[in-house]
Amino acid sequence: MAATPDMPVPYEAQTPLTRFFVGRRSEVRAGWRLVLYIVMVLVLSRVLLFAARAIPALGRALQGAPGLLTPGPQILQEAIQLAIVLVPAVVMGRLERRSLADYGLPGRGAFGKHFWIGMLWGLCLISAVIGGIALFRGYDISGLALSAGAIVEYGLLWLVGFTLVGFFEEFTFRGYTQFTLASGVGFWPAAVILSAAFGGAHLFNPGEGLVGALQVFLIAMFFCLTLRRTGTLWFAIGVHAAFDWGETFLYSVPNSGLRAAGHLFASSLHGAPWLTGGSVGPEGSVICFVLVALSILLFARLYPRARA
């Protein structure tokens, strides 16, 4: 039967060139959609780089001290980076007739139940990690590092900063990219690929090492599980934000090899690298690895897979 103007041409009857770009569902193949998205992200990144060079004030605002996290530049950097990955996703959503909800960010659940439960989960997780290290005498506090007024100021600034970190990193690796790659190769193969990329990206942080990157890979897989079981990124964003805030500000230890200005305590890590994580910080600790693995098992039990 010949195709009519109202009837799409069967996949088998399409030309090889068309089938190269379009799949059986009459949709542009996942790989090409992902390439287009990445190209838009790279173009926006280049525009930002050009703007930073052309506007000295912007360049200075984005620049922090090497190896040291500071809240002002951190908040500005993360907000801009979030826009760089969100705007192309909105454009692709228009082309694909999808919304950010399809990519894990439903507006109705924004900063709702899943986010706050995730925040509690992340704070409990980092507290258990630090508690475990302290139990083996690998963590000490010698006093406060801030005045009372500065505690509130930096505490809130870092909370905003790390919420943006969680937002940016979760959407970058588990938002549009995860959805699109999964439509081509399946959810869990896409999760492994992007979690490996997430762990590898952390190797560029000063002081980060292979063990720490493997740890990041594991926690990224945990975040993928939360996305799979809740259908949203809000739980993972909450865990990510609270874990980083607790690690960097509350317990005042290195975060992926980076120290922060304006941390709460004068604290120190000492002992074997397997315990403290060495230059990486608690993320490289065996205790963290074990607790993240247990978190995966606990979450899988508390949030069972929906029955078909």
Looking at 175-251, list the stretches that DSSP marks H as alpha helix, in order from N- to C-terminal side.
176-185, 187-201, 210-230, 234-245
Read off the pTM. Answer: 0.89
**Cα–Cα distance between 299 and 39 in angstroms, integer?**
35
| pLDDT tens by residue, 296-305 | 999 999 999 8
Is 188 within the bounds of a domain? Answer: yes
| pLDDT tens by residue, 114-170 | 999 999 999 999 999 999 999 999 999 999 999 988 999 999 999 999 999 999 999
67 DSSP assignment:
T
Is 4 within the bounds of a domain? Answer: no
Is 1 within the bounds of a domain? Answer: no
**Cα–Cα distance between 279 and 7 in angstroms, integer?**
62
**Cα–Cα distance between 39 and 98 in angstroms, integer?**
19
Is 2 within the bounds of a domain? Answer: no
Half-sphere exposure of 223 (CA within 13 A, CB side): 37
**Cα–Cα distance between 174 and 140 in angstroms, integer?**
35
* Total count of domains within the chain: 1
Is 236 within the bounds of a domain? Answer: yes
* Interaxial angle between packed helices 113-135 and 234-245, expressed in degrees from 0 to 180 and rounded to the nearest 10: 40
The token pair at 235 is: 């739980």
| pLDDT tens by residue, 29-63 | 888 999 999 999 999 999 988 887 788 877 777 77
Given a cut of 70, whether residue 76 has pLDDT beyond it is yes
Sort 18 into a burial class: Cβ within 10 Å, 0-12 / 13-18 / 19+: exposed
Query: Which residues form the domain of 230?
Result: 11-302
Contact 173, 194 (CB under 8 A): yes
